[in-house]
Structure 1
Amino acid sequence: MRTVTIHEAKTHLSRLVEQAAKGESFIIAKAGKPLVRVVAIDAPVPQAMRRRGFFTGTINVPADFDSIGSEQIEDRFGCGR
């Protein structure tokens, strides 16, 4: 991934944005320290990729889920006496 300075980014912003939109992401650095990464909007960020519904149909939650173990909990904490 290419790294550019803030000055270079300001000077060539249009060209850099066009390249990023085509998938050529880049990093803007200040004094040699990376500050931001510029990527195309449609490019997924690895941390943001979540597979919702991954276990759909493979895990069954029993109908009495909310009351499982309630007797033991009541006995331990003295509830319901």
Structure 2
Amino acid sequence: MQVNIHNAKTNLSKLIEAAKAGEDVIIAKGKTPVARIVAIPQNKFTIGLLKDKVAGNGPDFFEPMSEDELAVWEGEA
């Protein structure tokens, strides 16, 4: 759909909903297209997504490294 700037100002909410529904929304100055309204994909982030799917405990990052691990980390191994 192509609308002029005045109609875009008046119906911005409706144009945003149309873009979210997948419609191509073009704003024109006169008959010349100058802008496009594009919906941003909304990713749903779920906290605890891997809860009960990961077995065991992870590493304890506050424990000191062993001498061998420290040597590898420092590039001595």
Structure holding more helix per residue: 1
Task: Bin the TM-score by the shorter chain.
Answer: 0.3 to 0.5
Q: What is the TM-score normalised by the length of structure 1?
A: 0.43
